[in-house]
Structure 1
Amino acid sequence: MDSPSSAAIETSGLVKVFGGTRAVDGVDLRVPAGMVYGLLGPNGAGKTTTIRMLATLLRPDSGTARVFGHDVVREPDAVRSRVSLTGQFASVDENLTGAENLVLLARLLGHSWGRSRSRAAELLEAFGLTEAANRQTRTFSGGMRRRLDIAASIVVTPDLVFLDEPTTGLDPRSRNQVWEIVRALVAAGTTVLLTTQYLDEADQLADRIAVVDHGKVIAEGTSGELKSSVGSGAVHVRLADAARRPDAEQVLAKTLDAAVHLESDPVALSARVSDPERVAHALVELSRTGIAVTDFSLSQPSLDEVFLALTGRPAENTDTAATEEAA
């Protein structure tokens, strides 16, 4: 049995090439057991290809990968016995009812008819699908289908679940429902490897995050560590008198040594800061020159700003590598 501190996933120099494109280009990961680990990056960054290698669906071209100590190339059956994969698109049979989908999977996984029916009922209730149990899956909303898809992946509770962009295309309410399911899985002892291009999703769910771009891990850490790595964030200032804003802009630009942004609110200004000690100096200078401040705040950078700082482009950039999508 694995200890709580053991690694669920370890990779070293993992590479996958399609034609002349290195979809995954030397990925090193260590995912401790019992957490949500996020792979964050735009479409085409190499996230799905990485998951498919870890799930034994693709063979790495070089490097190594182990899942709970089992090599994905030499011991694929041992890996498959401990993992489950929910891809970007629902994999349930649209012509079957919700209950029939789950019973079918339970039977294929070796449960008796009685146990299959009871397990299906348990999952339908846990995922809020009992009322829809006898409806064909084709009639389900996107959120209902995604919940059923995740339920199908844990008919037999796995040690590790790969969730590949599980909330793509879902409305905010359905996304929140999926998030609660992910939290419940981890609370029950399952490790989750989550890929997402949604910054708020990584911020909400992941205990640690690897930022992936062009097949490489370009940063790794907790959300807070990643935010701290790109600076202290932004200072926001509100003035008592809008007429003094031009003067305040000059003072802030000089003391912070940064570009100052004039907000739509005529008494508000903001600026990016790399040294929080400069903020105190700036406030003193504003006071010394007779510029009254009614409110100020210093905020951490968002994951949006982290990704922009690391890659030079926003995370919502969805340039897609055809090679990865075809993988």
Structure 2
Amino acid sequence: MSDFVFNHSSTQPPFRNIQDVIPILAAMLKAMATLEAHFPERPNFRLRDNPWEIEIATTNDVSHKLGEAVELLFRSNHVDEGSYFLDLALMTPSWDELDEAVIESIITFDELLEHPEVPGTHLLATEAGEEALVCAVTGSVLASLCRNAAHSASQIGFICNGKTYKFDHTSNPLTSSSISERLTHDAFAQLSARNFPQLKNDIFPNLLFGLETDDQILNFPSNFIKLLFTRLKDIDSLSQHWQQNGTLPENCITFQNESEFTMNRYGYQRNRKGYDGEHRTFELHVWVGSGTRIHLFKHDNLKKIEIGYIGPHLDTKLF
């Protein structure tokens, strides 16, 4: 199970004005939506109480609930965030429906001690209580309203009963960006020729891949496979820059063209099935290691780079 779990303690003490909740709530929801791409399937949003029972602000002795704040998102130019909350709320299971194995695990927790890799965050886990323990056991993401500096931590950890626990925590786009970078880094470190088909789009989100690349990578020389992944990561960064700025950066990797002789005689070897099933000529190329290349195509309309061939050097006039 991998879900979002709302940190009820981040609603305390109640805000003095419900309008102050709006930007903070919107930031938390935007952060959650950004992270969804890393979940294998759409997560649940677990709340201990109905949103209309969770007090979030008190103004002149009038109590306001979380549900009211969500309604105000629609009136405050945060329609996407409000719609996102309502979509998640439709799938929210009862807190009482926690798996028995999870319940049995968390009731054994004793005092939470500091984790040396994420110092101080055990205090936030202690404050969050049961919600944090559920995240620790299930690998879920704790979601908090950002009320103080502690809520800006993107990872929480603690030691309890001799075991170490770490889990992700989000409250704003900066925390979700940090988590995304960490997850991508971890996935990149585990990337191999065999899991490349499953992970490529997550690790290289700014690239397109031709339909033949999954088979090609299985035959790629193993001594250059890590260098290949590094090259793809560099090209992914170029493609991202192109999409965001409209141009490729200066002093970047040089994409080489083939000679006229090579294209006339061996151009057919560069004709490959693209991501959309259409054949196109992947003439541009970059070196990987001795005798290996990446052939690519620049989609000017999409401002995106497509990888069409990865493997041994294709035939040229000289080879």
Same fold (TM over 0.5): no
TM-score range relative to shorter protein:
under 0.3
**Greater fraction strand:** 1
Higher relative contact order (CA 8 A, sep 6+): 1
In the superposition, the TM-score normalised over structure 2's length comes to: 0.27
In the superposition, the TM-score normalised over structure 1's length comes to: 0.26
**Greater fraction helix:** 2
